[in-house]
Amino acid sequence: MGMRLVLTINGATHDVDPPPSASLLSVLRDDLGLTGTRFGCGSGQCGSCYVIADGRAVASCLMPARRAAERDITTIEGLARGDVLHPVQEAFIAEDAMQCGYCTSGMIISAAALLARDAAPDEAAIRDALAGNLCRCGVYGRAIRAVQRAAGTRGVAGGSPPAMRTRDVAGGSPPAMNKAAKTRGVAGGSPPAMEKGSPPAMEK
């Protein structure tokens, strides 16, 4: 038997009736068709399923749908304004910061949450924000450059960076997560095998 929930996703409300054990990830993909949020490890270790919940980048595979009803959720589909991409999305394209693309939406979510909180993060802050996003293809160096480009700090020595265009999304580093979660029939096939733990060292 399902439960009636009203979720606020990307500024719009949605009435859903998922099973009591449903995760936010399964509702996004299976009920709302928002498949930009990817299923990865299912245990909050890879970052593929990150969304912004009340300003924080979180693993949607670990968040029960009933808890999401209390939050304002932004997915990768909600970062752009119509046909105008979010600065982080534009920067990832400009820096070619993707390869297979499976982890890209989660990385962009983490970066957008960071920049909404800190418009001019240093490289250490960027690395910290992306530390929860595993990339088997190893695009970490390009991803860091993309975040710097979006912030306007790439190649800038001192001084304030130019103002950036952002959606009304605040955030920071994702909270610690260690609770396993189940997901319902997730479309899109199985992701590449991923090792748990910290991602490889990032290239500068």
Alpha helices in the chain (DSSP H): 24-26, 65-68, 87-94, 104-117, 123-130, 140-151
Burial-class residue 131 by CB neighbours within 10 Å (0-12, 13-18, 19+): middle
Give pLDDT tens digits along the chain (204 positions).
568 999 999 999 999 999 999 999 999 999 999 999 999 999 999 999 999 999 999 999 999 999 999 899 999 999 999 999 999 999 999 999 999 999 999 999 999 999 999 999 999 999 999 999 999 999 999 999 999 999 998 764 433 333 333 333 333 333 333 333 334 443 334 444 444 444 444 444
